Amino acid sequence: MRKLTIAVLAVASLTAACGQQEAAQSATQAAGSAFVAEANDTLLRLGNEAQQAGFVAQTYITVDTEAIDARATAAYVAAGTDFAKRAATIPADSLSDNEKRQLTVLKSTLTMAAPTEPKEAEELTKMVSEMRSMYGRAKSCPAAAKGDACLDVEAVTQLLAKNRDPKRLREVWEGWHAAAQPMKDRYTRFVELSNKGAKTLGYDDTGVMWRSRYDLAPDAFAADMERLWRQLQPLYTSLHAYVRARLHEKYGGAVPATGPIPAHMLGNIWAQDWTNIYDLVSPPGGTGAVPLDSILVNKKVTPVQMARYAETFFTSLGFSKLPQTFWERSLFVKPQDREVVCHANAWVVDMVDDVRIKMCTDPTAEDFSTLHHELGHVYYILAYKDLPVILRDGANDGFHEAIGDTIALSITPEYLVKIGLLDRSPDASGDIPLLLERALEKLAFLPFGYVVDQWRWKVFNGEITPGTYNQAW
For 70-104, write each residue's pLDDT tens digit. 999 999 999 999 999 899 888 888 789 999 999 98
Please give the pLDDT value at position 88: 84
Give the per-residue SS3 of 348-396.
Answer: ECCCCCCEEEECCCCCCHHHHHHHHHHHHHHHHHHHCCCCCHHHCCCCC
pLDDT at 15 over 80: no
pLDDT at 6 over 80: no
Contacts of 330 (CB under 8 A, 6+ apart): 307, 356, 357, 358, 359
Please give the pLDDT value at position 16: 56
Mean pLDDT of the chain: 91
Q: Is 173 exposed, middle or buried (0-12, 13-18, 19+ CB in 10 A)?
A: buried
Please give the pLDDT value at position 285: 64
The structural domains of the chain, with segments of one domain joined by +, span 2-138+180-204, 275-472
Contacts of 225 (CB under 8 A, 6+ apart): 450, 453
Taking the mean position of all CA atoms in its chain, how far away is CA 28? 38
CB 83 within 8 A of CB 60: no
Confidence of residue 158 (pLDDT cuts 50, 70, 90): very high
Please give the pLDDT value at position 9: 52
Please give the pLDDT value at position 330: 98
Please give the pLDDT value at position 146: 54
Q: Provide, rounded to the nearest whole percent, the portion of the chain with pLDDT above 90.
A: 74
Please give the pLDDT value at position 440: 95
Give CA–CA dist 214/252, Å, rounded.
45
pLDDT at 284 over 80: no
Q: What is the mean pLDDT of residues 301-317?
A: 97
439-450 pLDDT per residue, tens = 999 999 999 999
pLDDT at 10 over 60: no
Confidence of residue 156 (pLDDT cuts 50, 70, 90): very high
CB 138 within 8 A of CB 180: yes
Please give the pLDDT value at position 187: 96
Please give the pLDDT value at position 147: 52
Q: Provide, rounded to the nearest whole percent, the portion of the chain with pLDDT above 70.
A: 92
Confidence of residue 399 (pLDDT cuts 50, 70, 90): confident
Give CA–CA dist 106/102, Å, rounded.
6
User: Angle 405-411-413 (CA atoms, 0-180°, nearest 5)?
Assistant: 155
318-365 pLDDT per residue, tens = 999 999 999 999 999 999 899 999 999 999 999 999 999 999 999 999
pLDDT at 66 over 70: yes
Please give the pLDDT value at position 289: 75
- Sign of the Cα pseudo-torsion (422, 269, 162, 252, in order): negative
Q: Which of 214, 274, 285 has the alpha carbon at shortest distance from 247?
A: 274
Q: Which of 409, 471, 452, 441 has the alpha carbon at shortest distance from 268?
A: 441
Confidence of residue 144 (pLDDT cuts 50, 70, 90): low
pLDDT at 202 over 80: yes
Please give the pLDDT value at position 409: 87
Q: What is the mean pLDDT of residues 270-274?
A: 95
Give CA–CA dist 471/473, Å, rounded.
5
pLDDT at 60 over 70: yes
pLDDT at 23 over 80: no
Q: Which of 290, 372, 296, 342 has the alpha carbon at shortest distance from 157?
A: 342
